[in-house]
A = this chain, B = another copy of it.
Amino acid sequence: MPEPIITLLTDFGAKDHYVGVMKGVILGINRSARLVDICHEIPPQDIRGAAYVLGTSYRYFPQGTIHLAVVDPGVGSERHGLIVKTDRYLFVGPDNGLFTMVYDLEKEVEVYKITESAHIPSEISSTFHGRDIFAPVAAHLSQGVPCSELGELISEPVRLNTLRPDSKGSILKGTIISMDRFGNLITNINRADFDNFVRQGRFEIVADDVVLDTVARTYSDASRGRMIALFGSSDYLELSTVMGSAAERLKLRVGDTISVRRVDEL
């Protein structure tokens, strides 16, 4: 049996020892777990950003991977902890919408609410469930403990409804959900959304004071300093400045909107 893989995705940052402590807890339960960081620099408490990062990352890992995700502004409140089981993966984390893209993309999904059990420490802090609940649950899952021993099935997990673009007449409104370190601004409009909307007609992408009427193929498809739109590596529409930073040029930020207009209908 190969060593189980557990990925970690949090907003804990690299400044602190919180991620290291979660890894210690996991290895204390299952020393053979293979730990892989997806990202710990999700902006603090940005559930939508984390849902996007998780949603565009998890499928690149081998079948059987356990994805542990902790962006948890409601820690210590009444929000539940979840195990999400698909035919290929397991997910562990708080019930706050973090797994919305998983619900949308996977066909067979079972959602368990984590309940008290012998697998969870009896003393639980009210501030760090990543360490006290989610890491132990992921570690026990990696040893083959079935979901039904760790929780009970529920049918209505929390979903985010701001992860999808909005279309109204000739305008498709998208939201910037991530900015990468190159200053590329990534929207929630994926290639299928875009293609279905523009139906091979003419279009304008309007972002701040910039209007673009083509989609480039890659970052080097125009001259230095030019603003372009393209579908990034996860197939979401993004705004990019060739050899520069779109974020600096546009003054748009995560949460701001951009729009696609069908031109023939103007």
Q: Are the CB atoms of A20 and B36 closer together than 8 Å? A: yes
Kindly provide the distance from the CB of A159 to the nearest chain B CB, expressed in whole angstroms. Answer: 21
Smallest CB-CB separation from A125: which chain B residue? B233
Knowing A39-B20, A76-B218 touch, does A232 contact B181 (C-beta < 8 A)?
A: no
Q: Are the CB atoms of B62 and A27 closer together than 8 Å? A: yes
Q: Are the CB atoms of A233 and B39 closer together than 8 Å? A: no
Tell me which residues from 1 to 60 in chain A have a Cβ below 8 Å from any Cβ of chain B: 2-3, 5, 7, 9, 11-21, 23-25, 27-28, 31-32, 34-41, 44-45, 53, 56-57, 60
Selected from B17, B65, B76, the residue in CB contact (under 8 A) with A217 is B76
- Complex CA distance for A43 and B143, rounded to whole angstroms: 37
Smallest CB-CB separation from A129: which chain B residue? B233
**A152 contacts chain B at the CB level, 8 A cutoff:** no
- Complex CA distance for A34 and B30, rounded to whole angstroms: 13
Q: Are the CB atoms of B181 and A12 closer together than 8 Å? A: yes
Q: Which of chain B's residues have a CB closer than 8 A to the CB of A77?
A: 218, 220
Knowing A28-B60, A127-B233 touch, does A20 contact B41 (C-beta < 8 A)?
A: no
- Complex CA distance for A23 and B7, rounded to whole angstroms: 10
Q: Are the CB atoms of A128 and B17 closer together than 8 Å? A: no
**A255 contacts chain B at the CB level, 8 A cutoff:** no
